[in-house]
Amino acid sequence: MRPLISITFILFSHVLRSLALRPNEAQLELSPAAAFPSRPQPQPRCKSFPGDSSWPSPADWNSLNQTLGDVLLNRLPPAAVCYPSSPNFNQEACNFLLNNATRTTFYFDDPITVQAQWPQGLTCPLSRNIGANATCTQGGFPVYVVNATTPRHVQAAVNFARNKNIRLIIKNTGHDSSGRNIGAGSLSVWTHYLKGFEFYPDYKQPGPGGGYRGPAAWVGAGLQVWEAFEQAVRYNITLPAASCLTVGSYGGWIGGGGHSPLSSKYGLGVDQVLELKVVTADGRYLTANPGENGDLFFALRGGGPIITSAIVKAHPPINLTIASFNFNLGTSPSTPIPSPNPTIVNSTAFWAGFNAVFAFGITTVDAGGYLWTNALPSGPGFSMQVRVQLPGFSPSEALTFLQPLISQLNVLGIPVGNLTQPTTELYSAQTASRGGGSSPGGYFASRLFPRKAYTDPSLFAAAMSAARATVEAGYTFHGLNLSPTLQAAGNPRQKPGVNPVWRDAVMHADVFGFGNINLGTASDQEVAAAVERLHALMEPLKQATPGGGAYVNEADPVEPDWQRSFYGGNYGRLREIKERRDPWGVFWAPTTPGSEGWRVEGTGGVLWRQNGRLCRT
Ligand SMILES: Cc1cc2nc3c(=O)[nH]c(=O)nc-3n(C[C@H](O)[C@H](O)[C@H](O)COP(=O)(O)OP(=O)(O)OC[C@H]3O[C@@H](n4cnc5c(N)ncnc54)[C@H](O)[C@@H]3O)c2cc1C
Ligand SMILES: *[C@@H]1O[C@H](CO)[C@@H](O)[C@H](O)[C@H]1NC(C)=O
Ligand SMILES: *[C@@H]1O[C@H](CO)[C@@H](O)[C@H](O)[C@H]1NC(C)=O
Ligand SMILES: *[C@@H]1O[C@H](CO)[C@@H](O)[C@H](O)[C@H]1NC(C)=O
Ligand SMILES: *[C@@H]1O[C@H](CO)[C@@H](O)[C@H](O)[C@H]1NC(C)=O
Ligand SMILES: *[C@@H]1O[C@H](CO)[C@@H](O)[C@H](O)[C@H]1NC(C)=O
Ligand SMILES: *[C@@H]1O[C@H](CO)[C@@H](O)[C@H](O)[C@H]1NC(C)=O
Ligand SMILES: *[C@@H]1O[C@H](CO)[C@@H](O)[C@H](O)[C@H]1NC(C)=O
Ligand SMILES: *[C@@H]1O[C@H](CO)[C@@H](O)[C@H](O)[C@H]1NC(C)=O
């Protein structure tokens, strides 16, 4: 009985804390002196670092902890439990990390670690063979973490970091793999427990001239996809979200753009946002909507300060129907034929089928759908995996819709047939990928294909041959066809600061594999060579997609000319807003607007590593 009672109490007190986040509740404003310090003159070149005389004393940190009501944490890297030389050494905990952590949400629920650990600098790697003398150091992980449950916690962290010249980072779930969620010598704002939710059946967006009116939801910045879906089912609504159920819907996902299987119908994640509650670099807790702090409303939906909550559109419930098939190039044909998964031996037919599937991407997005593809080396040949995702279609409508593609493949000599019945399920009820930390987070590059790269036959031929070359070189070419136009976004008055290339894009494609380099063991030279090889493969894709760009949330961490690739024509305005709102450089993360003014030093020239001191360039 007793454990049950205490669990109930924890759940109940968690609800109370969530309610403390209600947007209309009076704010605990910090004193103006703390909120508006004068800008230090001259500003130090580097952020303060542990060991510096300027680094806050233990008493300073204790005092921050008191201001925060005891939610300040300091943690060793989780893998410290595997190092005999660490005070945290614990074989049983180490066995859990080695065997079971990736099957749970361990990495997403941990205060400091993240999914892709190589940006940390590998100063405390998890391994089965850790020598008695091996050392584990904090590396790129933060020194202190604020386990935030209220905007006031976030304000206190921002004020402390700004006044003490400490590097500040933001971790929500830790899905990002470009080093934006970690940083050596930093104070981290952990937004994971900003979990509030409230449904507004009839919401009217503030601001001039008739904004959105209809159902909406107020959501905490820490809600993960699976939590948002639970609420969506409860209130009979749809909240578009990332395909991976552990991603944070209202932190990095909306901040970078956010694509979903519903994007061709309802636009990007940013397009769902009607209002934001944010903490700015001066420590203020502000509302941003089209009428108030419009610059932040623009910028925060494309890179910027800390979001504590948002109000987002709630759409009617919708089913997602998914039809899947694969075909393979091998050395002997499969039986039975036709099948939903045939193997053929004719290479010309295989690559013609590859082109036909991608060409069907336009048909899919124009019908409001999302085409998921994976082309990869498989055995002695290659495999093409196809999942056509159609919101609002019944299974029989989906089969009818697909028939032209199937016929075309059959004519080419690819006997895809006898498709297994498409699956159909309420979009918000998907639970397939719930939980699980999966892989250590790979290194990849990506490209947004503008519509012209599909409709201009010579560009399309060049794009397909560049895509094929990545697969033949041993990489996986992962395509997602979607079309989040301004019309689908439905906010004609409010163009968010997201990469405008998205509005005309019909495919976001990732090139995975990184030349089979193990980022945990490769030398700096091997890594540099692998980056060069991948960049050489990406170049023809870029040539064939003029006017394209890349999706900042799923991208090469050392994307050449990243300002233009990730932010397109919005970059100048985003950088201007950033510099005006944050003259102190409180918010810094690689590849965000204005980040070229700083760099992490002492990382052996590997640009994505965060295990060094952050200094102005
Ligand atoms: C397995 C997997 C599947 C994915 N699937 C999809 C998908 O289907 N669609 C898609 O669009 N993307 C997808 N992504 C990419 C995902 O959108 C990004 O990794 C995104 O940055 C995750 O945001 P997060 O808040 O969960 O993660 P974090 O890594 O915690 O945050 C990433 C960064 O976002 C910023 N940030 C986070 N919270 C806040 C906040 N409250 N205020 C201000 N800034 C904040 C910070 O800079 C932070 O470092 C996927 C990633 C993975 C690893
Ligand atoms: C903050 O205070 C709590 C409660 O006293 C304590 O458990 C925690 O260790 C403190 N944090 C730090 C970083 O000292
Ligand atoms: C890992 O999980 C298995 C069950 O899947 C369990 O038997 C085992 O005890 C776990 N190991 C650790 C170290 O937690
Ligand atoms: C560990 O260090 C000690 C003392 O420096 C040395 O004698 C020993 O050989 C080292 N062990 C290993 C496995 O490197
Ligand atoms: C962070 O705060 C949440 C909510 O109060 C709590 O449930 C959780 O245990 C805390 N995590 C850590 C590591 O202190
Ligand atoms: C859910 O919403 C839809 C349309 O928005 C409506 O048709 C349906 O009756 C609702 N279902 C329930 C159980 O309220
Ligand atoms: C989803 O599909 C199921 C089964 O076909 C059907 O009963 C249900 O009405 C559909 N729901 C919606 C919202 O279309
Ligand atoms: C291979 O497929 C192509 C494209 O369908 C076709 O033109 C060609 O005749 C096929 N070759 C053989 C040997 O079947
Ligand atoms: C379809 O596949 C099933 C299962 O593999 C098989 O039993 C059936 O005969 C096939 N039907 C046709 C028309 O090929």
> What domains does the chain contain, in order, with CATH numbers?
1-317+568-617 (3.30.465.10), 319-567 (3.40.462.20)
Distance 62 CA to ligand 1 centre (A): 31
- pLDDT of 17 reads 36
495 or 245: which leads in pLDDT: 245
The pLDDT value given to residue 5: 30
Question: Using one digit for the tens of pLDDT, what is the confidence trace for 459-485?
Answer: 999 999 999 999 999 999 999 999 999
Tokens of 47: 């952020």
Q: Rounded to whole angstroms, how far apart are CA atoms 172 and 159?
A: 19
What is the DSSP pairing of strand 144-147 with strand 186-190?
A: parallel
pLDDT of 174: 94
Considering only CA atoms, which of 583, 543, 591 is closest in space to residue 567? 591
- Is a pLDDT exceeding 70 seen at residue 577? yes
Q: What is the rounded average pLDDT of the residues 117-138?
A: 92
CB hemisphere CA count around 499 (13 angstroms):
29
- Which residue's alpha carbon is nearest to atom 6 within ligand 2? 70
Kindly tell me if the per-residue pLDDT of 435 is higher than 60. no
Q: Closest-lying ligand to the alpha carbon of 236?
A: 6
Ligand 1 within 6 A of 240 CB? Answer: no
Q: Which has the minimum average pLDDT: 10-14, 134-138, 378-382, 549-553?
A: 10-14
Answer with the residue of higher pLDDT: 244 or 408: 408
> Which residues form the pocket of ligand 8, taking CB atoms under 6 Å from any ligand atom?
346, 348-349, 352, 412-413
Q: Is the beta carbon of 147 within 6 A of some atom in ligand 2?
A: no
Average pLDDT, the chain: 90
The reported pLDDT for the residue numbered 302 is 55
Measured by CA distance, the residue closest to atom 2 of ligand 8 is 349
Structure tokens at 223: 């809600």
**Rg (alpha carbons) of the chain, rounded to whole number:** 25
User: Which protein residues touch ligand 5 with a CB less than 6 Å away?
Assistant: 17, 73, 111, 147, 149, 193
Mean pLDDT score, 195-210: 90
Three-state SS at 198: strand
Nearest atom (ligand 3) to Cα of 92: 13
441 or 308, which is more confident?
308
Ligand nearest to the CA of 314: 6
Q: Is the pLDDT of residue 210 over 90?
A: no
- pTM for this predicted structure: 0.93
- Output the CA torsion sign for 210, 212, 214, 220: negative
Residue position matching structure tokens 């895509």: 467
Q: Is the CB of 593 under 6 A from ligand 1?
A: no
Rounded Cα distance, 233 and 245, in Å: 14
- Strand duo 186-190 + 197-204: pairing: unpaired
User: E strands of 304-440, at which residues?
Assistant: 306-313, 319-329, 343-344, 370-378, 381-391, 423-426
- Distance from Cα 125 to the centre of ligand 4, integer Å: 19
How many C-beta atoms lie closer than 10 Å to residue 582's C-beta?
19
Percentage of the residues of the chain whose pLDDT score is greater than 70: 90
| Mean pLDDT of the region 39-61 | 90
